[in-house]
Amino acid sequence: MYKYLLPIALLCGSVQLKAQMPGSAVDVQHYTFNITLSDQTDEIKGRADVQLALCRDVNSITLDLDGKTATGKGMQVLGVTEGAKKLPYVHADGKLVIKTTAKSGTNHMYRIIYNGIPADGLIISQNKYGDRTFFGDNWLRRARKWLPCVDDVADKAGVDFIVTAPAHYSVVANGLKLSEKQSGSNKTTHWHEDVPVSTKVMVIGVADFAISTPEFVNQVPVNAYTFKQDKANGFKAYSCAPEILNFYNQQIGPYAYKKLANVQSKTIFGGMENASNIFYYENSVNDKAIEALVAHEVAHQWFGDAATESAVAHVWLSEGFATYFTHYYHEHKYGADSLRKRMITDRTGIFAFEKERLTPVVDTTTEKADINLLNTNSYQKASWVLHMLRHQLGDAAFIKGIRTYYSTYKNGNAGTENFRTVMEKAGNQNLERFFKQWLYTASHPRLRISYETDKTNHGIHLHIEQLQPQVYQLKVDLKIGSTNFTAEMKDKALDLNIAAPTQAGELIVDPNVNLLADYEIVNKDK
């Protein structure tokens, strides 16, 4: 539904809005980036064909592209055309404004010729072995550093990368490789992705790679690209990817893309979930926790890549999901104790983070400070929210909701309230309070739980008090001796009398690790 020749009514109707920057008149359908790289200079030569549809009348088309700065880095536009017609333009303040009128409901393709040394976005450097490498690193709003585009997480389009580079390099990019042709000392490699993806996950990797033989999962080739010196360790490290891909296919829904490349790289992140083209940090090939890293980045192919957050403030729909589904995979492979241990570790980190910064998971106040939103809230706390939601709904309803959410927003965008609507329907319950207290409210519950034996009937009397200012609605799982029960809190305090346990023992709060709270336990019998 994102091909250039689709009917105009479809392009500018509800389907088009599924993967478009909110409020924009421009909906990019496809990019074709011709990029020329050299070993003699860090300057790149670019030709971008930007195919788009208009949803209202405009007097100009605006794309994101950072210009040259006093350092000499940045992109310089050399010309803009539509067909054979040269178009006037202004390139300033990080924007390329093409001076042309266009009517609502029309399709256009603009060609931009440009060059320059990327200040960021395309990382041109040497790897740990001193070999020259080129790696795209676009998260977030950094594609504009080297690509003319609509650089917004919500704007998704297909992409072709046609990369000309010295022939000793191999090139990997989104989608499938269509061709590779050598001419003299250079080689041109063409990759094509027709599934719409955000610019944040639209990249190339260029290095002297060793490339593994692919293993197929539901006809999707899965393989590794590593530095030649790390071939043995790298192929082994990334060999867990097919099993992980297959598990997510079964649990969540069909993988959205036509290949999965796992790429040793050099960028600023430990792992980056570029669509069908995951980049891992240099030393990942020797990382003892590589399986968890691969599980996290592969989970992103569903959450963040295919079903994309509609705005940066909702990044938990990407990072929190990838974090929790990594735990979910470990639970499947290594058992429930593995999940509990991972949740306990994350809970400790959440409480420590809140002492330094007390903000909600959905944090609109710092939306412009993109990198600051990659924090314990959007990863570990958001993962805990999914864990508690699973406990509240039950496994069957939870997975049903996750599958429905993915299938509904696959290749589109969603916000927190879109997710809530889906999960309410799957679980047949109102989740407004749950979402408000866990996602839109900072901090967490702190409980003081005191208990003593009733002298008359030998039962147990409990008093549970919430110590934090705001009142949460909670279900607190408790165990005394052989007796398990759940205390449901709707107010600041709760008193409960329970029958004497058949087997005596100390009070254990949250024995299965299902609640994000900390506890103070007081045994009044002592």
Q: Which tens digit of pLDDT belongs to each residue from 353-402?
A: 999 999 999 988 765 567 888 999 999 999 999 999 999 999 999 999 99
Domain shared by 35 and 103, yes or no? yes
Domain CATH for 346: 1.10.390.10
Q: Which tens digit of pLDDT belongs to each residue from 103-114?
A: 999 999 999 999
Going by pLDDT thresholds of 50, 70 and 90, the confidence category of residue 458 is low
In sequence order, the β-bridge partners of residue 271 are 280
Domain shared by 475 and 425, yes or no? no
pLDDT attached to residue 353 = 96
Domain that holds residue 111: 8-207
Domain shared by 34 and 158, yes or no? yes
**Could you tell me if residue 396 is inside a domain?**
yes
**Could you tell me if residue 434 is inside a domain?**
yes
Domain shared by 434 and 453, yes or no? no
Query: Amino acid identity, residue 450?
Result: S
CA distance 283 to 251: 30
Total count of domains within the chain? 3
Residues 15/408, Cβ–Cβ less than 8 Å: no
Domain CATH for 458: 2.60.40.1840
Those residues with Cβ within 8 angstroms of residue 356's Cβ, 6 or more apart along the chain or in another chain: none
pLDDT attached to residue 457 = 62
The token pair at 328 is 């979910």
**Could you tell me if residue 35 is inside a domain?**
yes
Domain's final residue, options 175, 207, 239: 207
- In sign, the C-alpha dihedral spanning 255, 286, 228, 200 is positive
Q: Quick check: 99 pLDDT over 80?
A: yes
Number of CB atoms found within 10 A of residue 411's CB: 17
CA distance 449 to 445: 12
Domain shared by 342 and 467, yes or no? no
Domain's final residue, options 207, 223, 252: 207
Residue 172 CB burial class (10 angstroms; 0-12, 13-18, ≥19): buried
Q: How far is CA 20 from CA 116, 140, 250, 309, 393, in A?
A: 28, 16, 29, 12, 32
pLDDT attached to residue 9 = 32
Instruction: Output the DSSP codes for 66-93.
Output: -B--TTS-EEEEEEEEETTEE--EEEET
**CA-based end-to-end distance of the chain:** 69
Query: Amino acid identity, residue 413?
Result: N
Q: What is the average per-residue pLDDT within 35-40?
A: 98
Domain shared by 136 and 200, yes or no? yes
Going by pLDDT thresholds of 50, 70 and 90, the confidence category of residue 455 is low
Q: How far is CA 364 from CA 7, 91, 308, 314, 370, in A?
A: 37, 30, 17, 9, 11
**Could you tell me if residue 267 is inside a domain?**
no
Domain shared by 392 and 408, yes or no? yes
Domain shared by 194 and 337, yes or no? no
Domain shared by 372 and 462, yes or no? no
Those residues with Cβ within 8 angstroms of residue 449's Cβ, 6 or more apart along the chain or in another chain: 462, 463, 464, 465, 476, 478, 507, 509, 519, 520, 521, 522
pLDDT attached to residue 7 = 31
Q: Quick check: 299 pLDDT over 70?
A: yes
Highest mean pLDDT among 365-374, 421-430, 476-485: 421-430
Query: Amino acid identity, residue 464?
Result: I
Those residues with Cβ within 8 angstroms of residue 436's Cβ, 6 or more apart along the chain or in another chain: none
| Peptide bond between residue 140 and the one before it cis (omega within 30 degrees of 0) | yes
Q: Which tens digit of pLDDT belongs to each residue from 185-230?
A: 999 999 999 999 999 999 999 999 999 999 999 999 999 999 999 9
pLDDT attached to residue 427 = 97
**Could you tell me if residue 251 is inside a domain?**
no
